[in-house]
């Protein structure tokens, strides 16, 4: 019997072609009509991926396995691997990588880092090399787009910030961390003596507020580019290979002039810095380096290898004699400019740049070359971040960043289009900490993997940098909230300070013109904890909305509803990207104070002071705010006492759909229970044993007080104290009895004899209701305040075909929406503030009232209901309803041995409703040409299939599955003309790719054996091309209402017009479609031959 394709569990495919549709739990529709496509933006929903096969202690990890599968699908010959290795074995690991055919690009024994180009088929072998701790593959992260959407304003509500704005203000609310008061009380502790590293899109060297510190020193002391000259594709890096001799020479068919001497030459072509969707207000360059309105210019670069002198032909006249000799900014602080500034305009039409060189870079074709970089910024993001940390005299007045006395080192880790390279985010961080020796670092870029447990190479390397070099990293938590377990990587790294985004009533009014009910809260978008292993993230919050510096090449960017304009070079951005630099600047004040007073301030001491002194925000769960708001004076009161923090390890039970993939399966750094089966029932009292080991400090046993922070009554401890000998694990019993919803509390261990909190363990449990049978529905009725949210958890049963969600009873004009998060903590639709709201642009491509999620992952789903800042109502009523739907059809399929052409043949099936009551309508369609076969594939082997898609085809679907080895991992890729148009690759072998309205032509299907047992595995292969030329399958089209458990007979008929190609069968489907457009069940027909 032929197995029908629709029964295969549909998994995520790569959305690379128009008309590609996939299964999996995707909302329909969920496209932001006015938002730039941005798959790596933290605001955009990550792909929903089917569960991967567990790889406990996996050095690669499921996220990087997905990246590897994508590289294989693209046909890449090598992938860039970043390896954290045992530092004592760094050279040996590099040699062994060369031995398996890898090309080693970089070796850094100081931190145990190796970067190499590895053939995809050798990645597993590379990870297995002795001494390798973790292996990451290169990827790109789009910097967040923190500017709120622009709408027409009505009237002014508050005055604009300007020269008269005091330092303590709601526009850039550094006073909310206590930074302003701290500086007022201690004027010299303003960041002076501290250098802040900013790893981002680059910082505008021309901005007036980023020129000098409070003591008149240069503000930006260095500016470099960390992208790789070869493998990142950064068009501003040029290989200096061609030799020329001045004063006159011919290059590229044209005459050039230079000072007498011998040089190397190349050019930067400005159009190579453009990309689809580039926005000059955010991305700045967009293929126009000299800002003359076109992308036609080419700028020559002349390089003298002997002393690394550089000349740039800024005016494009092919004459270097009228250009300045330049050296790297960190050496000479020279800044060049491209373009001509126009008198009478506020916007600056010139673009600043610096130069940089790298010696003896190995070329892919062999040999080495020096590279020169034309260092320009890749966006506004980094300049805004820099202003928050350390700007001085914004608007030419009294308004400052958090640490105006501090200096800045800028590292650009981002490209023009693809985003920020993970290679640059690692190597740029190594350079900042180990080579440039900055004192503290801000990083406001990252992503959200499904398994956000910090078990990867980048997290390991960041932890090493912090511990070895004594430099604390502050990293934004991410903008994927308000869902649980959405905190992003790399802020999940153990020793990183992960920062969420808070906002006050005053800032809502000043920056947005919005009124809210609370005095202080946390942005809905701010990513929530815990980590997948229950780990404590985010650690703290800081203000996440700011008017700050942006490049002077752009007009002011206020929020229109605020009712005022901003001058050139200033913009209002929001996000955890803005919260992290608030915290970084606040930390710079503490380091400045410590340096001037002789107090110790190691990263461990700094973290202990900051965490202990943080001020909890009333009414906000601890998995949302961590310890609370950064408090500079409070932290200093602890830090000046020379804290002596001990080291601890924690092991606690974790139960989530992904907890079997943790480094130690089902164990992590804090209690986390989000299971459906085996989870925590509402009202149930359950004990959790938290094992704590004190790893350092006094060899004698130490007693600690136990308490719970942020507890809503769910948790309790059986003891008030615990004694911890050094090096001996001790179990602490914690009991939870939750009501419906998510509940969290910090288990605090405090030695009363020492200042500061010694240890905090985050504990989070979710008690989710099941759907009410027999209707399989769940409903919530309530009200949500403007700019606030309500979170609801629902347990979705296995085998649900469709999860239908509806929003109703919304008040006139109210702007309210829901966002769904799957059991892995991933949003399954865009979290952009542009989409899915009622009474806002019709939802902008997302139905605000009714959406369904096909083939939802079983487990605990979260639905976040929130009201927008522009809603006219302070209180916004709603009713949210979910229903599980699914119909089983038998027989499946209906099989005919042979049917004649041109004759309608009837059939009937029985449809049984397994879930909630539903009305469906049978729908017919075109027949398809079906090829079904079973083959055996081995690890590393590729099977190729060629498929002809005729003119007029309506759908092309290919599937693999039913492996003989249940643990096998097979990947499926579809190409047309060598270009990948569809891919499905998770951690198992059930994969489907569907192309709607495919272009006619020849397609190539590739099945790749990523992992199999020795000897290989069998698998089923199915391909179907639906086209009217083959005939039709029809159904009556009458609506059918089915209660739970009810059955009905569905009839249809098949009419064949044309036989399929040789070796193929005919195949048809009759989906049973709900009023929302969801296929709740499907009847299938197979005709084995045509008579």
Rounded to an integer, what is the distance from CA 376 to the centroid of its chain? 25
Mean pLDDT of 128-156: 76
Instruction: Please tell me the CATH code under which domain 62-137 is placed.
Output: 3.30.70.920
Catalytic residue among 200, 204, 847, 914: 200
Nearest-CA neighbor of 220 among 451, 375, 35? 375
CATH 3.40.50.200 maps onto the chain at: 174-224+379-639
pLDDT at residue 36, rounded to an integer? 26
Q: How many Cα atoms sit within 13 Å of 998 on the Cβ side? A: 27
Nearest-CA neighbor of 337 among 397, 289, 305, 379? 289
| Calpha distance 273→601 (Å, rounded) | 42
Across 114-118, 144-148, 382-386, least confident range: 144-148
pLDDT at residue 397, rounded to an integer? 98
Nearest-CA neighbor of 374 among 441, 454, 299? 299
Phi-psi domain of 286 (left: phi exceeds 0; alpha: psi -120 through 50; beta: other):
left
Q: How many helices (H) and strands (E) does the chain have?
A: 14, 61
Q: Which 8-state DSSP code applies to residue 287? A: T
| Calpha distance 25→11 (Å, rounded) | 9
For residue 898, what are the contacts with CB-CB under 8 A and spacing of at least 6? 1087, 1088, 1089, 1090, 1091
Kindly tell me the sign of the dihedral angle through the C-alpha atoms of 357, 361, 365, 367: positive
Rounded alpha-carbon distances, angstroms, from residue 354 to 292, 338, 377: 20, 11, 10
Mean pLDDT of 163-184: 98
Q: Pick 648-767's CATH classification: 3.30.390.10, 3.40.50.150, 1.10.10.60, 2.60.40.3170.
A: 2.60.40.3170
The SS3 assignment for 474 reads strand
207-255 pLDDT, tens digit each:
999 999 999 999 999 999 999 999 999 999 999 999 999 999 999 999 9
| Calpha distance 570→467 (Å, rounded) | 37
Catalytic residue among 21, 577, 612, 832: 577
Q: Does 63 qualify as catalytic in the annotation?
A: no
CATH 2.60.40.3170 maps onto the chain at: 648-767
Say what percent of the chain tops pLDDT 70. 93
Q: Return the structure tokens found at 244.
A: 């020329």
Mean pLDDT of 592-619: 98
Q: Quick count: other Cβ atoms within 10 Å of Cβ 104?
A: 19
Q: Return the structure tokens found at 260.
A: 């007498």
Res. 57 pLDDT band, cuts 50 70 90: low
To the nearest whole number, what is the mean pLDDT of the chain? 92
The SS3 assignment for 635 reads helix
| Calpha distance 612→604 (Å, rounded) | 12
444, 199 contact by CB (below 8 A): no
pLDDT at residue 149, rounded to an integer? 57
Q: Does 204 qualify as catalytic in the annotation?
A: no
pLDDT at residue 365, rounded to an integer? 87
Q: What kind of architecture, by CATH, is found in domain 5-30+888-1087?
A: Sandwich (2.60)
Nearest-CA neighbor of 95 among 1068, 85, 842, 342? 85
Name the CA dihedral angle for 927, 932, 938, 944, rounded to a multiple of 10 degrees.
Answer: -50
CATH 3.30.70.920 maps onto the chain at: 62-137
Indicate whether 624 pLDDT > 70: yes
282-329 pLDDT, tens digit each:
778 889 999 999 999 999 999 999 999 999 999 999 999 999 999 999
| Calpha distance 1011→4 (Å, rounded) | 25
Indicate whether 1091 pLDDT > 50: yes
Nearest-CA neighbor of 931 among 954, 951, 959? 959
Say what percent of the chain tops pLDDT 90. 85
More confident residue, 2 or 729: 729
CATH 2.60.120.380 maps onto the chain at: 5-30+888-1087, 777-881
For residue 317, what are the contacts with CB-CB under 8 A and spacing of at least 6? none
Nearest-CA neighbor of 1051 among 888, 889, 885? 889
Q: How many Cα atoms sit within 13 Å of 388 on the Cβ side? A: 38
334-378 pLDDT, tens digit each:
999 999 999 989 999 999 999 999 999 999 989 999 999 999 999
Res. 418 pLDDT band, cuts 50 70 90: confident
| Calpha distance 267→260 (Å, rounded) | 19
Q: Which 8-state DSSP code applies to residue 433? A: I
pLDDT at residue 1011, rounded to an integer? 83
500-526 pLDDT, tens digit each:
999 999 999 999 999 999 999 999 999
| Calpha distance 392→379 (Å, rounded) | 21
Catalytic residue among 381, 680, 743, 855: 381
pLDDT at residue 989, rounded to an integer? 87
Indicate whether 56 pLDDT > 50: no
| Calpha distance 354→314 (Å, rounded) | 12
- Going by CATH, does the domain composed of 777-881 fall within 3.40.50.2000? no
Nearest-CA neighbor of 447 among 422, 484, 414? 422
Q: By CB neighbour count within 10 A (0-12 exposed, 13-18 middle, 19+ buried), where does 1064 fall?
A: middle
Mean pLDDT of 688-710: 97
Q: Does 381 qualify as catalytic in the annotation?
A: yes
**Which is the CATH superfamily of the domain at 174-224+379-639?**
Peptidase S8/S53 domain (3.40.50.200)
Query: Can you tell me which residue has the tokens 């027999």?
Result: 774
Rounded alpha-carbon distances, angstroms, from residue 1050 to 789, 921, 1033, 1043, 1079: 44, 10, 13, 15, 15
Give 731's strand partners. 691
Q: What is the DSSP string of 943-1008?
A: EEEEEEE-TT--EEEEEEE--SSTT-EEEEEEEETTEEEEEE--SSS-EEEEEESPPSEEEEEEEE
């Amino acid at each position: 019997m032929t197995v029908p394709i629709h029964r295969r569990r549909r998994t995520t495919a790569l959305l690379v072609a128009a008309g590609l549709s996939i299964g999996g739990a995707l909302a329909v529709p969920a496209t932001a009509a006015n938002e730039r496509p941005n798959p790596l933006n933290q605001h955009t929903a990550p792909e929903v991926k089917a569960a991967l096969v567990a790889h406990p202690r996996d050095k690669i990890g499921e996220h990087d396995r997905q990246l590897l599968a994508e590289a294989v699908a693209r046909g890449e010959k090598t992938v860039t691997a970043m390896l954290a290795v045992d530092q004592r074995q760094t050279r040996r690991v590099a040699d062994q990588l060369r031995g398996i055919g890898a090309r080693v690009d970089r070796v850094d024994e100081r931190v145990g880092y190796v970067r190499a180009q590895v053939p995809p088929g050798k990645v597993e072998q590379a990870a297995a090399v002795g001494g390798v701790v973790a292996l990451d593959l290169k990827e790109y992260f789009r910097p967040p787009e923190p500017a709120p959407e622009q709408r027409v304003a009505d009237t002014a509500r508050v005055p604009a910030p300007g020269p008269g704005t005091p330092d303590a203000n709601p526009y850039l609310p550094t006073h909310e961390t206590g930074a302003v008061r701290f500086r007022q009380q201690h004027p010299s502790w303003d960041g002076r003596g501290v250098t802040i590293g900013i790893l981002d899109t680059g910082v505008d060297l021309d901005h007036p507020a980023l020129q000098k510190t409070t003591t008149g020193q240069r503000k930006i002391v260095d500016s470099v580019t960390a992208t790789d000259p070869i493998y990142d594709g950064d068009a501003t890096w040029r290989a200096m290979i061609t030799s020329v001799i001045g004063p006159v020479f011919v290059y590229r068919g044209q005459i050039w002039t230079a000072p007498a001497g011998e040089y190397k030459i190349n050019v930067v072509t400005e159009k190579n810095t453009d990309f689809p969707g580039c926005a000059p207000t955010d991305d700045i360059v967009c293929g126009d380096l000299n800002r003359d309105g076109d992308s036609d210019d080419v700028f020559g670069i002349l390089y003298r290898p002997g002393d690394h002198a550089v000349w740039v032909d800024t005016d494009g006249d092919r004459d270097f004699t009228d250009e300045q000799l330049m050296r790297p900014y960190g050496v000479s602080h020279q800044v060049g400019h491209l373009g001509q500034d126009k008198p009478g305009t506020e916007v600056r039409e010139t673009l600043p740049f610096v130069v940089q060189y790298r010696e003896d870079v190995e070329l892919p074709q062999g040999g080495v070359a020096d590279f020169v970089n034309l260092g320009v910024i890749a966006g506004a993001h980094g300049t805004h971040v820099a202003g928050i940390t350390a700007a001085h005299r914004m608007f030419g007045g009294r308004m400052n960043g958090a640490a105006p006395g501090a200096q800045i080192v800028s590292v650009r880790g981002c490209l023009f289009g693809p985003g920020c390279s993970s290679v640059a985010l690692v190597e740029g961080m190594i350079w900042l900490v180990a080579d440039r020796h900055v004192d503290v670092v801000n990083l406001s870029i990252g992503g959200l993997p499904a398994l956000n447990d910090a078990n990867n190479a980048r997290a390991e390397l960041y932890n090493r940098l912090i511990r070895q070099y004594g430099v604390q990293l502050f990293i934004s938590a991410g903008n994927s909230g308000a869902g649980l377990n959405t905190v992003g990587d790399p802020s999940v790294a153990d020793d990183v300070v992960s920062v969420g985004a808070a906002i006050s009533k005053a800032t809502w009014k000043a920056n947005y013109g919005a009124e809210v009910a609370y005095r202080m809260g946390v942005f809905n978008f701010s990513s929530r904890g815990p980590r997948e292993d229950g780990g404590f993230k985010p650690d703290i919050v800081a203000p996440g909305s700011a008017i700050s510096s942006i490049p002077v090449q752009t007009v002011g960017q206020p929020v229109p509803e605020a009712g005022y304009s901003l001058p050139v070079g200033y913009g209002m951005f929001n996000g955890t990207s803005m919260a992290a630099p608030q915290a970084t600047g606040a930390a710079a004040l503490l380091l400045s104070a410590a340096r001037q007073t002789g107090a110790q301030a190691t990263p461990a001491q700094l973290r202990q002071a900051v965490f202990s002194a943080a001020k909890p925000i009333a009414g906000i769960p601890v998995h949302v705010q961590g310890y609370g708001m950064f408090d500079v004076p409070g932290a200093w009161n602890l830090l000046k006492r020379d804290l002596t923090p001990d080291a601890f390890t924690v092991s606690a039970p974790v139960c989530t759909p992904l907890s079997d993939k943790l480094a130690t399966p089902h164990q992590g750094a804090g209690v986390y229970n989000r299971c459906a089966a085996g989870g925590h029932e509402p009202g149930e009292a359950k004990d959790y044993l938290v094992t704590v080991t004190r790893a350092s400090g006094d060899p004698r046993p130490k007693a600690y007080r136990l308490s719970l922070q942020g507890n809503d009554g769910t948790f309790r401890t059986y003891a008030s104290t615990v004694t911890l000998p050094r090096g001996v694990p001790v179990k602490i019993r914690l009991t939870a009895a939750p009501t419906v919803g998510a509940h969290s509390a910090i288990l605090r261990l405090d030695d009363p004899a020492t200042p500061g909190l010694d240890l905090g363990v985050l504990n989070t449990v979710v008690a989710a209701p099941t759907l009410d049978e027999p209707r399989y529905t769940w409903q919530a009725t309530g009200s949500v305040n403007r700019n606030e949210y309500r979170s609801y958890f629902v347990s979705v049963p296995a085998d649900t075909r469709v999860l239908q969600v509806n929003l109703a009873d919304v008040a006139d004009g109210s702007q309210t929406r829901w966002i769904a998060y799957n059991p892995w903590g991933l949003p399954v639709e865009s979290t952009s503030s542009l989409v899915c709201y009622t009474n806002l642009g019709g939802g902008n491509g997302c139905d605000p009232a009714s959406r369904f999620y096909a083939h939802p992952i079983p487990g605990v789903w979260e639905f976040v209901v929130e009201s927008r800042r522009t809603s006219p109502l302070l209180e916004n009523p709603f009713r949210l309803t979910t229903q599980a739907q699914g119909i089983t059809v038998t027989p499946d399929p209906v099989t005919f041995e042979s049917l004649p052409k041109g004759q309608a043949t009837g059939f009937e099936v029985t449809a049984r409703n397994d879930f909630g009551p539903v009305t469906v309508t049978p729908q017919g369609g075109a027949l398809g040409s079906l090829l079904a076969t079973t083959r055996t594939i081995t690890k590393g082997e590729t099977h190729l299939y060629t498929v002809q898609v005729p003119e007029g085809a309506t759908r092309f679907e290919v599937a693999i599955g039913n492996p003989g080895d249940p643990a096998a991992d097979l990947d499926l890729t579809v190409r047309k003309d060598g270009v990948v148009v569809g891919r499905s690759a998770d951690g198992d072998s059930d994969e489907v790719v569907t192309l709607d309205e495919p272009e006619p032509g020849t397609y190539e299907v590739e099945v790749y054996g990523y992992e199999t047992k020795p000897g290989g595995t069998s698998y089923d292969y199915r391909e179907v091309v639906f086209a009217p030329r083959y005939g039709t399958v029809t159904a009556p089209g009458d609506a059918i209402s089915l209660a739970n458990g009810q059955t009905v007979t569905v009839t249809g008929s098949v009419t064949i017009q044309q036989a399929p190609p040789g070796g193929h069968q005919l195949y048809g489907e009759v989906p049973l479609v709900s009023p929302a457009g969801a296929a709740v069940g499907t009847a299938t027909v197979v005709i084995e031959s045509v008579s």
